[in-house]
Amino acid sequence: MDDETLFTIGALATRTGLTVKTIRFYSDKGIVPATSYSPAGYRLYDTRALARLELVRTLRELDIDLATVRRILARETSLSEVAAAHADALDVQIRTLRLRRAVLRAVAERDSNPQEMDLMHKLVNLSEAERHRLIHDFVDGTFGGVEANPAVVELLRSSMPDLPGEPTTEQVRAWMELVELVRDDDFRAAVRRMAEYQAKERAEGDTTGLHHELTEAVREEVSRALAAGIAPESAAAQPVIAGLTRQYAETFGKEDGRPLRRWILERLEVADDPRVTRYWQLVGTINGWPPLPDLEPVFSWFGLALRASLVTER
Q: Which of 72-81, 129-138, 154-163, 182-191 has the lowest mean pLDDT?
A: 72-81
Mean pLDDT of all residues belonging to the chain: 85
Whether 97 and 58 share a structural domain: no
Total tally of structural domains belonging to the chain:
3
CA angle 91, 97, 101 (to 5 degrees): 145
Q: Where are the beta strands (DSSP E) in 12-79?
A: 36-37, 43-44
How big is the chain by its Cα radius of gyration, in Å?
A: 34
pLDDT digits (tens, 9 = 90+) for 260-305: 999 999 888 887 788 888 999 999 999 999 987 888 889 899 999 9
45 in a structural domain: yes
237 in a structural domain: yes
Distance from C-alpha of 188 to C-alpha of 194, rounded to nearest angstrom: 10
131 SS3 class: helix
Whether 225 and 301 share a structural domain: yes
Whether 281 and 299 share a structural domain: yes
Q: pLDDT exceeding 90 applies to what percent of the chain?
A: 35
Distance from C-alpha of 229 to C-alpha of 189, rounded to nearest angstrom: 36
Q: What is the pLDDT of residue 206?
A: 61
Whether 44 and 92 share a structural domain: no
Where does residue 213 rank: exposed (0-12), middle (13-18), buried (19+ CB within 10 A)? Answer: exposed
Distance from C-alpha of 144 to C-alpha of 153, rounded to nearest angstrom: 10
Whether 107 and 54 share a structural domain: no
Whether 67 and 107 share a structural domain: no
The pLDDT of residue 62 is above 90:
no
Whether 51 and 29 share a structural domain: yes
Q: What is the pLDDT of residue 1?
A: 44
204 in a structural domain: no
Distance of CA 188 to the CA centre of its chain: 22
Domain that holds residue 18: 3-77
Mean pLDDT score, 147-152? 76
With a threshold of 0.75, does the pTM exceed it?
no
| DSSP type of residue 7 | B
Q: Which of these three, 120, 149, 183, is where a domain ends?
A: 120
Q: Which of these three, 104, 120, 136, is where a domain ends?
A: 120
- Higher local confidence (pLDDT), 120 or 54: 54
Q: What is the CATH number of the domain that holds 71?
A: 1.10.1660.10
